[in-house]
Structure 1
Amino acid sequence: MNERVRTIIMYLIKKPDTKIAELTKELSLTKRQINYAIQQFNEELSENQVPEITRNHAGDFMIPLEVIRLFSARNADDNLTYNEQVLTENERIACMICYLCTRIDYTSMNHLTDVLMVSRNTVQEDLKKAEWVASKYALSIYYDRQNGYQLRGLERRVLQLLSDLVKQYDFFRTLEIKQRLAPDVSEEDVIHFIHNMEQMLHLSYSDESIDYLQVAIRFSLQRAIRQLSVDENYIQKDITATPEYKFVKVLLQDTTWSTIDSQAQAWIALLFLTSNIFERKTTQTFDSDQVLRQLIDNMIMNFENQTLINIEDRDMFQRRILGHLRPACFRIKYHLSLGVYSLDSLVQDSNHAILNELMKELIIPIENWLGKAFPADELELLSYYFGYQLSSPGNTIMQKPRAVVVCTNGVMVSKLMQENLKKLFPELHFLASFSVRDFYRFSSDYDLVFSTTALKSNLLQFIIDPIMSYKEQISLRYRVLKDLGLNGIDRSVDELMGIIRKFTKVQDSKLLIEELEYFLLREKQDSPLENAKVLPALTNYLKPNFITIIERKMTWKEAVSLACQPLLTHQIINQTFIVDCLKQIETEGYAGYLGTRTCIPHTTVEHGVMRDGISLLVSKIPIEFPNGQSISFIFPLSFYDLSKHLKAVNQLADFSNNQGLMDKLLNALDTKEMYQYLRQFT
């Protein structure tokens, strides 16, 4: 069940008399989209032997009582655990594949139905799609009638698939799913392992990297401890020469994971190497970074020459840029994505846009050294850090304090507390919820603790009830932010009290101050200021490895299918997308052309659009299309949310009229050069 179905059904449950015309207006959906979503949901209901949603002669939707009860139970609160929530089809497939990735032996059908909590029929259908996903990584799901299912293929492909899925789907971060997929590796031990690595390297990883590492390391260790050795040598010398690799070997010696082989140890080191660093607390440099340091030094020199900006403390600036660029280089070299990084939360202004344009040129020597082009998301993040270090050389930004929840009321209550506290304190990074015993073992890994009972600890601690009233939550928020020095409410309250006393007599100053504190905290929390968001450019969706070059004669159907392959491989579209696009292009009056040399096949969400993405096929021999045009550029467009893609489409229209740029692409030697031309253009 996807979000659209949930939204439609919940709306109908709350307003059962709603007509479909009203529903289309309220939810900004077409009648076709609504009917298709309900049809999908009815198929799931039928499979699980639950009465379906129908419509009477007047057009009213008839929601069976069983469906209402189902949704009421699942939506009793907003803090659903994995065990309570319904995974979408894509999430189920991702969960199934990760389950197979973390296991070496065979997995039975019963195990899969237990993990996914769906019927055998649904598992069998999902398995077909999971096999397709695995095949894109040159892997296969082998079936043995007696033993069950097993994922087979190169080890590096399995680990790459595992990492990509963890970065793509947030639900892997829930404690329940981590326990199901990696029961032999504890959450507490993984967090402690990461913290020890930070201590040995004298740095701290970003919050997003910590969240990723907690899952990726746990799943990788679960796989590694179940296999004796790997014959395949998939890790190169540039990893084994790093301090991360050496420290991983040292730290593993004192754990129950000390038996994993050297290749698995190197993979764990790679996970650290590809994680973004928030702050490096030492000036020490490593021999393994010598070439990259020189390239960064040249980048800074070129920046100074082009902008006439003099960077005062070049050594410090270089070290900080190295801390951001080094993980990006390892990600790009080993084909590991940046993931869903919170670029939207970064400040976007005209200065940043100018710097981003300049960075497209400055990065080229490093791209040539890597032999790979920087994707748009990596370049965007690097531009932000570059600009931030220029404007804030003192690095005044503070990392979120790391918090832990300790509860004596059981696992479910502790998870509920943790979710509520996350919402109450966006300024904190909640890593885990522990028992009292586990907290004493790992308390040094945290900055503060929220507990239902008093603890013998030097950590800043707050004693709270598992369930708090609204005023209790606001009061707690005020105390915590004040003790951490993050609260700017006191001065505002004093100023307001001064104004109020000018015009009226205050009978109860203490109560008024309390109410003003509640009001200001509530306003600040419920109405966060949003940074201005810039619409994504073409290269935000078109990745370097999404470009295909052909130099032979090909039919238009073959060319369109080939152009779509990168999107298909990365699960951005499914096969239905290609079928529908081919059907449309054959239709008389098809409007998917830009200029005289460009075709943009595209379709709707109902016809195979799974995620946002654009690919490109460049044919050096023009291809004749049904309308008689000779096409050299095919851009399949997969857009899930059309409101965000105006800029990218406008850039495609500009491209189709830019004869010089099109000729440059046709004369380019490889996809890297093509991507660099497109990036400069956008």
Structure 2
Amino acid sequence: MSLNDRSKKILDELVSNPSITSTALEKKYNVTRRQLGYSFNKINDWLMSKNLPVIERTRQGHFIINQSVFTRLNGEEKSVPVDTSLLSENQRVHLIIMMLLSYKEELSLSHFTIELDVSKNTVLSDLKQVQNYLSDYDLIIRYSRKSGYLIEGKEFQVRKLLIHVTYQLLQMNNGKNRIKELTSIQRENVNEFTKRIEKVENKLNLKFTDEKMETMPYVLILLLRRIEKGNEIDSFSIEYEELSDTKEYLATEEILYDFKEIPVAERLFITLHLLTTNVYSSEFLIEESIPNLVPATDNMLRLFEKSACIYLQDRELLMDKLLQHIKPAYYRIKYQLTGTVTIQDSLSKEFKELHHLVKRSIGPLVDLIGNEIPESETTYITMLIGGWMTRQGDSIDKKVKAIVVCPQGVSVSKLMFNELRELFPEFIFLDSLSVREFLSYKLEYDIVFSPTFLETEKTLFISRAFLGREEKYRLRKQVMLELHGYIPNDINVTHLIDIINNYAVIENKKALTEELHMYINRDEASSVKQDVDLKDINLDELITQQNITVRSSVKTWDEAIRVSAQPLVESGKINPEYVEAMINQYDKDPYIVIGPNIAIPHAAPEEGVNEVGMSLLRLKEGINFTADYSINLVIVIAAVDKQQHIHALMQLMKLSGSEKDRNRMINADSIKEIHNIIQSYSID
């Protein structure tokens, strides 16, 4: 650490003239008693950092200096390093906020000018920035002659601000001493709370991160001071049982064992602070208070692996690392306490791509918590996963990155995206975009798939939205020849073995040959020629006359799904729980509406599908799906896998694109007439 210019001059004066008094120092250097005290504390902290005895000050204003200080400073260290760094505007803003939150006396402009050593005009400008800062917390600054400058607003928001600013100040050079000086927190008090937190670590069998360990004593001391002054927490929506049953609540009781008058709401808030604090390691991390956290995290990771085309090694260890972050993040996000961690904006290209894939995979956590995941939290998750990939030598930087650009609407675009991702499992598909979105797309990519020509410097492959089996084969062959100059199954494995044998010892040539055959042929076998012997199922074979229901109207969307699905339930193709799953899913699926007046409710096969099937409900009078959509045709889809229903679905998509035939179905007089229209789209 180093000393600022004023503190250095005062130390030099004390060493050269130890008989000088406090009053004489104040007069000589034109400082107030408070400013002198501030410099005196800085000098003692600096001396302790050099393993030198501190300078004592008597009640009469005289100083007692140990001989070793004179010897050291007059000998080998004649020049004391000076802290010449000026406070930035952001640092001054944080210091002003800390003063507003913790000062024991009324604050005027002169208090700020003295502490920050700047002019009144600078302070007035800083106060405007403080108000801008406070607006994010729904807080304001108020000034009166009687009370000086104050922060006003809900105490819960004040606490969030206090925690955040404490963290920011501790990141500053000499931040601990600045906080102690501003708040008059004594070293002994900090040490006492540090010991209490260390006991909590032992009780909970965990280790808090170093930065949180440094921050928590100051936060707890300042929170308790506000409570003692009567600034109690507002009522906030936390169920008592949700926190009182946690180990952290018991730990809070241990921290506050000698504070008898702390209200229950305050104990819950401090418990919440412990729950939201990042940990470095933990033996017993997950408990019944978040019963679905593990499967939600696991599902998120599986979605990421699929999107990034990778397999994460040592998956259980990575899960432990993620859960150590996600458990406290769960409470931060749920109770809007995020914002204490600052992530730098200068991110590498590959990191931005990883971050994009993580955000696309985060849905299971969003569903669990019930809130959107803030950018700072997804960024940290990306850092954990990215670090793990680097450790195992994996990277997405060398993988082919593709986008799908489709002008035919979100549903067609999504279907095209999924089909191409199945056809090219070794590519990373970043997004399905409209043409307008494509024109302003920021992420790096290598190739573009689109049913229409686009102006682009990247490699463009023109592909129809709906591909037959032979068309898929031709497209895959075209893409592989363009990118790699070969088609995977054209590689001669025998020649490949000979090449490997020239540079390495092959212990089991037969096993290696078999593995290479499986690897080289895997893409075409799984993506192009899969189920060659299976006959495509046409739309009219799934939507039979027995699976069509005609009604004038229904009262609710739930009823529409139940009525449409009833033929499939009666025939045993789906179980009743599949119907409930569709009802629960519809508002979360933006691709359920595939065209004007037509929707395709569906759920996952494992939620109650026994056999592939489709059923149709025709409503003369449409049912409102949203403010923008009125639905007349409800087609329930029951898929057992990713393949069998696709051919019929493509035919249905073509039908949905015809306004004339949609209207004919809506106005049809009989089930047979509706089925005749379906049959006209059921031709290969």
- TM-score (normalizing by structure 1): 0.41
